[in-house]
Structure 1
Amino acid sequence: MADLRPTPGPPADRVLDTDSAGVWDVAFSPDGRTLASADNGDAVRLWDTAAGRQTAVLSRGTGDPQKSRHVVAFSPDGTTVAGAGAKVDVATWDVATHKPAVRFAGGTSGKVAFSPDGRYLAACDEENGPTVTVWDARTAKEVHTFGSTTGFSVAFSPDGTMLAGGGSDGRIHLWRL
């Protein structure tokens, strides 16, 4: 029988210390120069990957893991980062200025995703629906809401014409936009 124990890999090239109790999600900017992290203290942080240092804390919350921004995503052009989580509004920030950009009504229990052209932001929420909501990323106007039994993950097709959502029921729902 084969040995299935994990073997240690090489050590990390760099370790970024968030001073939080845990990191929920990370996302690289499209050019790879910036990393966004979301932790269970409601902080969305930006990191310079070359220097290995934190450059901004975009969101500071209550520290309540039940109200934390636990997912992050970059817009395709890398100018905007979204942070979302349970029992908090989905929000975006300008990456260059670190200023809040748009706040979207509603939280998410799962992932967020920008459409390939950056025009739309989608989020799935299993706790309050379950639903998948698509907003105009610039105005926060709700464009579509899809009721489903999904709520953990969401993704746009590369051409932006379809949206997929998957969740705890073991199904993937596909919607034509």
Structure 2
Amino acid sequence: MVVLAVQARWESNTNARQRDDAQSPGLLVFRPDGRQLAIGGTDGRIRLWDTSNPDRPVRVGQFVSGRTDPHAVYTPDGRMLAVIGTPVHAVRFWDVHDPAHARPVGRPVGGVGTPIVAIEFDSRGQRFATLGGDTTIQLWDFTDPAHITETGGSIIPTEDSWHAGDIAFTPDGEYLIGVGVRGEIRWWDLNPDHSLRRVCRISGDVLTADVWRRYLPGVPYRAACEGQA
């Protein structure tokens, strides 16, 4: 319906009669600055449109994503498009800064054993989170797009009955929010300093100098809870 609305908007102006030829278009996503639009369909191709002048949109490129039901998000800086979808369940990144020569970047990530059903970037664009079909959430370091690495272990919801439907970072990037298919909301604190403060507040500074010397002989003592009260 959204795709049809966009087509109707373009065709309502005699100077902007444009129609995308994507088969059964299901992907429609704008670049953060609104000046580029990606449309994808069941033929596996993603078309890129220059929408800097909404009355005269121009198709400026396309690439074969290999996904027959693609879902995609732009990176916050708009230079890349992250694409997921069947039959390959991993995330594939495409450099679309030059839309006429879109190219894959790095290797596909994730999707081993379970499909990735959602992807979300933090506001700085230096990391992203993926949501697996088994509700497992994984954080990824995106500081070097050519060498993406996992950040820590997977986040596995403890409630067996909770099944995530989507994920999102808070604007400050310190929390990740998941919403369940029945509307339940879960929050995960991603700031390790917050976790340290909670541990110290509950347990007190149990790691005293004497305990440290007993279990960590030869290692200089560091007060873990100092200043964390």
Determine if the TM-score, normalized by the shorter chain, exceeds 0.5.
yes
Tell me how far 1:157 sits from its aligned partner: 0.7
Tell me how far 1:34 sits from its aligned partner: 0.3
Partner of 2:174: 161
Partner of 2:80: 80
Asked if the contact 1:69/1:83 (under 8 Å) is kept, the reply is: no
- After superposition, the C-alpha distances for 1:61-117 in whole angstroms (9 at most, x for unaligned) are 2xxxxx5352111111111111112442211111224111132121422x3211100
Q: Which of 57, 64, 74 lines up with 1:59 in the alignment?
A: 64
Tell me how far 1:19 sits from its aligned partner: 2.5
Task: Indicate the percent of aligned positions where both proteins have the same amino acid.
Answer: 29
Could you list the structure 1 runs, at least 4 aligned residues long, displaced by more than 6 angstroms after superposition.
Answer: none
Distance change >3 Å, CA 142–CA 87, structure 1 → 2: farther
Distance change >3 Å, CA 54–CA 105, structure 1 → 2: same
- After superposition, the C-alpha distances for 1:111-154 in whole angstroms (9 at most, x for unaligned) are 3211100011222122xx22122212222211142123434312
Quick one: distance in 2 between partners of 1:23 and 1:133? 29
- After superposition, the C-alpha distances for 1:25-48 in whole angstroms (9 at most, x for unaligned) are 322112211012332333333211
Distance change >3 Å, CA 43–CA 165, structure 1 → 2: farther
Partner of 1:174: 187
Asked if the contact 1:132/1:165 (under 8 Å) is kept, the reply is: no
Q: Would you tell me which structure has more strand in proportion to its own residues?
A: 1
* TM-score of the aligned structures, taking structure 2 as reference length: 0.61
* TM-score of the aligned structures, taking structure 1 as reference length: 0.76
Partner of 1:17: 19
Quick one: distance in 2 between partners of 1:37 and 1:133? 27
| Higher-RCO chain (CA-CA 8 Å, sequence separation at least 6) | 1
Is 1:135 the counterpart of 2:121? The answer is no
Quick one: distance in 1 between partners of 2:139 and 2:40? 21
Q: Which moved more, 1:39-48 or 1:24-33?
A: 39-48
Distance change >3 Å, CA 28–CA 47, structure 1 → 2: same
Q: Which 5+ residue runs of structure 2 have no aligned equivalent?
A: 12-17, 191-229
Asked if the contact 2:179/2:185 (under 8 Å) is kept, the reply is: yes
Q: Which 5+ residue runs of structure 1 have no aligned equivalent?
A: 1-8, 62-66
Quick one: distance in 1 between partners of 2:164 and 2:123? 21
Is 1:118 the counterpart of 2:125? The answer is yes
- Length, aligned pairs only: 160
Partner of 2:38: 36
